[in-house]
Amino acid sequence: MTDLLLSPTVSAQDTFLSRRRRDRAASRIRATSASPSPARRAFSMSPASHRRRRSSILAEPGSEMNETLSQYLPRPTPKQAAEPIVGSYALAFDIDGVLMRSGDPIPVAPEALRMLNGDNEYNVRVPYIFVTNGGGKTEEQRCKEFSEKMETPVSPNQFIQGHTPMRELRKKYGTVLVVGGIGEACRQVAEQYGFADVVTPGDILKWNPNVCPFRTLTDEEHKNSRYRDFSQVKIEAILVFADSRDWAADQQIILDLLLSKDGVMGTVSETYEEGPPLYFAHNDFVWATNYDQSRYGMGALQVSISALYKAHTNKELFVTKYGKPNYETFKYANNLLAEWREKIFGHKSDPTTVYFVGDTPESDIQFANKFDDSWHSILVKTGVYQEGTVPKHKPKVIVDNVLEAVKYVLEREHGVHEEEYILEEDEEELD
C-alpha cells in the first residue's frame, strides 16, 4: 500500500517514535530540575517547543457528535476541598477482561475510574482513554452503554475500537464487504464512517442462497439485506469489523472473493492474485468470557481463512491487521490521547508516562512494550492471563485487578516511593 497512514514506512515510524522519546526526555529533565519533590514531578509539562501539530481526529466526519466536551471533565467530589490538580501522566485501558467481562462490569471497575476522576487521596485527576479490540457498534453506542455500566460519562473522543482507525479506508475504496457483528450493526458503523457502498454477507446470500447452501437467512435478515446482482458488482475490499457469528458462511464468501477476478462473485482468477484486499480490525486469537476457558476470536478466524487459502492456492495470504498490538492503532491512540488531554484538561504536552492496563500478554502487553518506552505496561489477572503462567510478553508489573492497577499508578507517581522509581528508571537508561 502506498498510503502512509495505512502502511507507514520504517523511517516514518522511527521518526514518530524518536520525536516521542525526545519529548519525554525533555519533560523529565524539566521535571527533575524544577523541583526535587516527587509529587511535583507528576504535574510537570513538556516545554512548549516540543508541542506537535496534529490534524484533529476527534469528531471525525460521519460522527454524530453534538456533545459538549466539558460534560466529560471530572468535577470535585464532595470530600474534596479544592479543584483537583491534573497529572502530567495518563492511562489507557483495554476493556474486555480489564473493566468488563462478557458484557458485565468487573465489580471494582467503576471505583477505579472514580479514583482517576479525582476521588483519591492525592487530589489529582488523570486523563485516560480506552483502546479495545472489540467492535461491532458505533463508538457513540458503545460509549452510551459503557458509561451506564461504569457509572461515569465516557466520550467517543476517548474511545478506540478495533475498527475505529479503519474509517480512513473510506478514502481508498468504494464498494466494500463488511463482515461480523450482529444483524446490520457493522453496516451502520461503516456507513457512519463514510463508506459509500457497504455490502454484507446477507446481501450476497439474498442474491444467491446457493453460495452457502447450509445457511438460511431468517425473515428479519432477508428483509434487511439489500438485493443486487453481484455477478455485476466489483467488491474493492473486504473489511472484517467484528467477530463473525457464522464462520462457515463468512469464510466461504470471503474465500470466494479472494479467489475471484476483481472482486466479482462467480468469477475465478487464474493467478489467485486478483481478488480484493483483506483487512481485519484486530487479530486477537482468544478472548475472555465468563466461561472458565478463553474463547477463539477474530484472530483464529483469520488463521483459518489463511490456511484454507493456502490449501487451495499453495500461496500465502496477505492480511492487513489493525487493533492491538499493531502500529497504526498505537499511533492513533497516541494522537487521540494528546487531543483529549488538550481539549479537556488544557495540556498541550505529551504525557510523561502512559500506563496501559490490559489482560492479554500477546496483544495488550506487546502493544504497550513495542513502540515507545514512555508506555508502561500493567497486566491484570481478571482476563486472558492465567496466574502462575509466564507471559510471552513481560509487563512492568502484574496486579490483581484494574483498581489495584490504578492504585499502583497513583502510588508510583505521588507516593513516598517515587524517588526509588526515578532512581530505578535512571539506572535502566544508563544500562
Based on the structure, what is the number of domains in the chain?
2
Residue 69 lies in a domain: no
- Contact, 206 vs 185, CB < 8 A? no
Residue 114 lies in a domain: yes
For residue 406, what are the domain limits?
82-161+330-430
- Same-domain status, 356 and 247: no
- Same-domain status, 172 and 308: yes
- Same-domain status, 317 and 178: yes
- Same-domain status, 359 and 296: no
Q: Which of 72-81, 171-180, 381-390 has the highest mean pLDDT?
A: 171-180
Residue 400 lies in a domain: yes
Asked if the model's pLDDT at residue 284 lies above 90, the reply is: no
User: Which of 321, 338, 356 is the last residue before a domain boundary?
Assistant: 321
- Same-domain status, 306 and 341: no
Question: CA 268 to CA 262: how far, in whole Å?
Answer: 9
Average pLDDT over the chain reads: 83
Residue 274 lies in a domain: yes
- Same-domain status, 202 and 137: no
- Same-domain status, 208 and 357: no
Asked if the model's pLDDT at residue 364 lies above 90, the reply is: yes
More confident residue, 289 or 56: 289
The SS3 call for residue 268 is: coil
Asked if the model's pLDDT at residue 154 lies above 70, the reply is: yes
Residue 221 lies in a domain: yes
Tell which residue, 196, 183, 185, 144, has the closest CA to residue 163: 185
- Confidence at 349, pLDDT banded by 50, 70, 90: confident
The cell numbers describing 272, all together, are 489467485
- Same-domain status, 205 and 304: yes
**CATH number (domain holding residue 291):** 3.40.50.1000
For the chain, helix, strand, coil in percent to 5 are 40, 15, 45
pLDDT of residue 271: 96
- Same-domain status, 342 and 353: yes
Mean pLDDT of 90-112: 95
User: Exposed e or buried b for every residue in 195-211, given b needs 16+ CB within 10 A?
Assistant: beebbbbbbbbbbeeeb
Residue 361 lies in a domain: yes
- Same-domain status, 285 and 176: yes
Q: Give 160-208 pLDDT, tens digit per residue.
A: 999 999 999 999 999 999 999 999 999 999 999 999 999 999 999 999 9
pLDDT of residue 292: 85
- Confidence at 7, pLDDT banded by 50, 70, 90: very low
Asked if the model's pLDDT at residue 276 lies above 70, the reply is: yes
Q: Give 307-327 pLDDT, tens digit per residue.
A: 999 999 999 999 999 999 999
- Same-domain status, 140 and 181: no
User: Which of 321, 342, 364 is the last residue before a domain boundary?
Assistant: 321
Among the residue ranges 10-24, 214-228, 331-345, the one predicted with the least confidence is 10-24
pLDDT of residue 291: 87
- Same-domain status, 121 and 208: no
Residue 185 lies in a domain: yes
Asked if the model's pLDDT at residue 52 lies above 80, the reply is: no
Residue 20 lies in a domain: no
Q: Which of 29-43, 81-95, 131-145, 409-423 has the highest mean pLDDT?
A: 131-145
pTM reported for the whole predicted model: 0.76
